[in-house]
Amino acid sequence: MIVLGLESSCDETAVAVYCGEQGLLGHAIHSQIALHDAYGGVVPELASRDHIRKWLPLLDETLSASALTLSDIDAVAYTAGPGLAGALMVGAMAGQSLAFALEVPALAVNHLEGHVLAPLLETPAPAFPYLCLLVSGGHSLIVAVHALGRYEVLGESVDDAVGEAFDKTAKLIGLGYPGGAALAALAEQGDPTAFAFPRPMTYRPGLQMSFSGLKTAALTATRANPECEADIAASFQAAAVDTLVIKVKRALAQTGLRRLVVAGGVGANAHLREALRQLGADCYYPRGVFCTDNAAMIALAGCLRAEAGESDESSPGVRPRWPLDSLDPPAA
């Protein structure tokens, strides 16, 4: 089965084709970072309009790169949530119209399910069950992935996502948007012990996380010591990484899981990777391009569900809020 995937939940427009037998056949992504840069964050209306402009050229690019035509497509999977309502609607309308015209099923895919299944795009792929740390600009989740559609959210951030805290700290130091990677680069020149930033919610049991207090601590330190940017960056990164690692260590012990998948843009952080490696679990990192928002993971999730017999009859439309643990295994 060949499934076309569409992703438009935030500031990336992406198209991919995934084949159940042969794996990923092609994918293309357009990032809107430059479009939103001047505003210091994603402007929803601009995001929606740009998705409208970009999805058809990306579709053409993906089909020609994979030597396919629309008549080869057996189903269309689109991101139905969670995400920005207007941005999601562009992908949903595109996906549903295309599926209607081609007379194939349209499958509404949960974006977070895409992220936690993204490691299955790689070889070797982790076998179920595994623990997934999903850390991006929008999400910080620790999930036990038991099987397709069986996700147990063990912990998540009660406020800012960890990537958002990286970005806001980077912005106040003047590193642009999204500045997580630039902040990590600056941290290399600083002393991670210079400032004793909090490791939020690690002193009590449980797997919930919080990153807004850490961001505020960095803000206060920057105001008092504007010349210490590299030390603040290094101390912030150390606190964020420590917090994530403490929680993941707890989650591995609590679940007894031995495989750990790290997904989301913050998974690119070298210090986080090194610290997680030392926990002794088998670590899996999807390639950078499949860690951040992409359509390959949406096409893959749609394909697995379609092959398990799911049809489009229960299609929910767009769902800006759509918790991962509200999903069910495929309904045949």
Residues binding Zn ion (CB under 5 A):
293
Closest distance of CB 182 from Zn ion, Å: 20
Residue 43 contacts which entry, Zn ion, ligand KG4, none (Cβ below 5-8 A, type-dependent): none
Paired sense of beta strands 140-147 and 75-81, if any:
unpaired
Cβ 17 vs Cβ 62: under 8 Å: yes
Residue 105 or 178: the one with the smaller Cβ distance to Zn ion is 178
Closest distance of CB 309 from ligand KG4, Å: 30
Q: How far is Cα 44 from Cα 142, in angstroms, rounded to an integer?
A: 27
Residue 166 contacts which entry, ligand KG4, Zn ion, none (Cβ below 5-8 A, type-dependent): ligand KG4
Q: For 157, which DSSP code?
A: B
Instruction: Provide the 10 A C-beta neighbour count for residue 33.
Output: 12
Residue 47 or 306: the one with the smaller Cβ distance to ligand KG4 is 47
Residue 178 contacts which entry, ligand KG4, Zn ion, none (Cβ below 5-8 A, type-dependent): ligand KG4
285: helix, coil or strand?
coil
CB under 8 Å to 272, separation ≥6 — which residues? 135, 241, 244, 245, 262, 266
Which residue is listed with tokens 């490691």? 119
Residue 302 contacts which entry, ligand KG4, Zn ion, none (Cβ below 5-8 A, type-dependent): none
Among 18, 130, 151, 166, binds ligand KG4 (CB under 6 A): 166
Among 136, 157, 235, 243, binds ligand KG4 (CB under 6 A): 136
Cβ 251 vs Cβ 207: under 8 Å: yes
Closest distance of CB 77 from Zn ion, Å: 15
Residues 247-306 touching ligand KG4, rule: CB under 6 A, are 264-266, 268-269, 292-293
Tokens encoding 132: 């997934």
Residue 84 or 144: the one with the smaller Cβ distance to ligand KG4 is 84
Cα-Cα-Cα-Cα dihedral sign, residues 292, 18, 154, 12: positive
Instruction: Provide the 10 A C-beta neighbour count for residue 262.
Output: 24
Stretch that binds ligand KG4, among 131-139, 195-203, 207-215, 278-286 (CB under 6 A): 131-139
> End-to-end distance of the chain based on CA atoms, in angstroms?
16
Among 138, 155, 286, 302, binds ligand KG4 (CB under 6 A): 138
Residue 195 or 236: the one with the smaller Cβ distance to ligand KG4 is 236
Q: How far is Cα 55 from Cα 40, in angstroms, rounded to an integer?
A: 24
Residue 160 or 293: the one with the smaller Cβ distance to Zn ion is 293
Among 2, 3, 6, 10, binds ligand KG4 (CB under 6 A): 10
Q: How far is Cα 190 from Cα 185, in angstroms, rounded to an integer?
A: 10
Residue 269 contacts which entry, Zn ion, ligand KG4, none (Cβ below 5-8 A, type-dependent): ligand KG4
10-to-15, 42, 59, 236, 259 alpha-carbon distances in Å: 14, 8, 18, 26, 29
Residue 105 contacts which entry, Zn ion, ligand KG4, none (Cβ below 5-8 A, type-dependent): none
Residues that bind ligand KG4 (CB under 6 A): 10, 136-138, 163, 166-167, 178, 180-181, 184, 264-266, 268-269, 292-293
